Amino acid sequence: MSRRIFAGNWKMHLGPEDARQFLKVFLSRYRHEAGREVWFFPAAVALPAVAEAAGGRAGIVVGAQNVHWEDQGAFTGEISAPMARQAGAQAALVGHSERRHIFGETDEQTGRKVRALLRHQLTPVLCVGEKLEEREQGHTLQVVEGQLAALAGLDAAALGQVIVAYEPVWAIGTGKNATPKDAAEVHGFIRAWFAARGVAERHTTILYGGSVKPDNVKPLLAEPEINGVLVGGASVNVATWSEMVR
């Protein structure tokens, strides 16, 4: 059975107490199903709460939204990969569009973060995606290829640990989706990029993100190129999220 990941990026929502309440309700409705994984990316302060509440339940993974590339040091306000791991993370988002476009993160920094995560046995979920004007100018694949360059120099074994999330910037929080066909085209391009570097096509996991909701998740997941979804807004409401996962 192929892998189906439902990943919730909570962004700057839900503190530790909210997270505990959320998980309590979610888990009362949750049943593990083969092939389906539910990933939570809470705010760093809520990581231990989510990790403890999930308590190693089958099919549930917890990750950080961001890490610094150094393991420790004078970087006020940052958290490192080993710290995230100590707080219960098994994975982390890297290069989310909000990190790139609001906080000015570069592909170079993104690449260093991916390496920090791999050093600490955390799964990097590298987010890529074009802005509206880039899509309109027909530059989508070029932009995505430029962002994948953050992975340059990693060998096939390391690349095989990386998950990619394709999140077109114009679809994030806007209510606009890429069509399953548009998303599949970009996913196919990303899969070929990995295949050219020695990662078998079936081993590359690529998520789609951008205004995924309970009413549009099915056609997206029906597309064989799409191995799962990365969800913002619809993941912070426990009823909506439980419905989507079900």
- CB-based contacts of 188: which residues, under 8 Å, 6+ apart? 225
Burial (Cβ within 10 Å: 0-12, 13-18, ≥19) of residue 111: buried
Q: Which amino acid is at 191?
A: R
Question: Could you tell me the smallest distance in angstroms from the CB atom of residue 246 to ligand 13P?
Answer: 18
- Cβ at position 73, least distance to ligand 13P in Å: 27
CA distance 234 to 237: 6
CA pair distance 54, 65, nearest whole angstrom: 17
- Residue 9 near ligand 13P by CB under 6 A: yes
Residues 89 and 64 sit within 8 Å (Cβ to Cβ): yes
Residue 148 sits at φ, ψ, to 5 deg, of -65, -20
Contact status: 221 vs ligand 13P (CB under 6 A): no
User: Which listed range, 32-40, 53-61, 153-161, 231-239, lies at the site for ligand 13P (CB under 6 A)?
Assistant: 231-239
Q: Cα(115)–Cα(193) distance, rounded to whole angstroms?
A: 18
- Residue 172 interacts with ligand 13P (CB under 6 A)? yes
Residues 6+ apart with CB under 8 A from 185: none
> Would you call 12 helix, strand, or coil by DSSP?
coil
134 is catalytic: no
Would you call 167 a catalytic residue per the annotation?
yes
Interface residue with ligand 13P among 38, 231, 244, 245 (CB under 6 A) is: 231
Query: Among 233, 238, 241, 245, which residue interacts with ligand 13P (rule: CB under 6 A)?
Result: 233
Extract the tokens encoding 16: 């530790």
- For residue 21 the two structure tokens come to 């309440």
Q: Which is nearer to ligand 13P, 18 or 52 (CB)?
A: 18
Q: Which residue is nearest to ligand 13P (CB)?
A: 232
Q: Is 116 in the site for ligand 13P (CB under 6 A)?
A: no
Among 37, 130, 167, 225, binds ligand 13P (CB under 6 A): 167
Catalytic residue, chosen from 68, 96, 120, 187, is 96
Closest CA to 213 of 184, 175, 178, 186: 175
Nearer to ligand 13P, 96 or 187 (CB): 96
- Name the segment binding ligand 13P (CB under 6 A); options: 77-85, 104-112, 183-191, 232-240: 232-240
Residue 81 makes contact with ligand 13P by CB under 6 A: no
- Binding residues for ligand 13P, per CB under 6 A? 9, 96, 167, 172-173, 209-212, 230-234
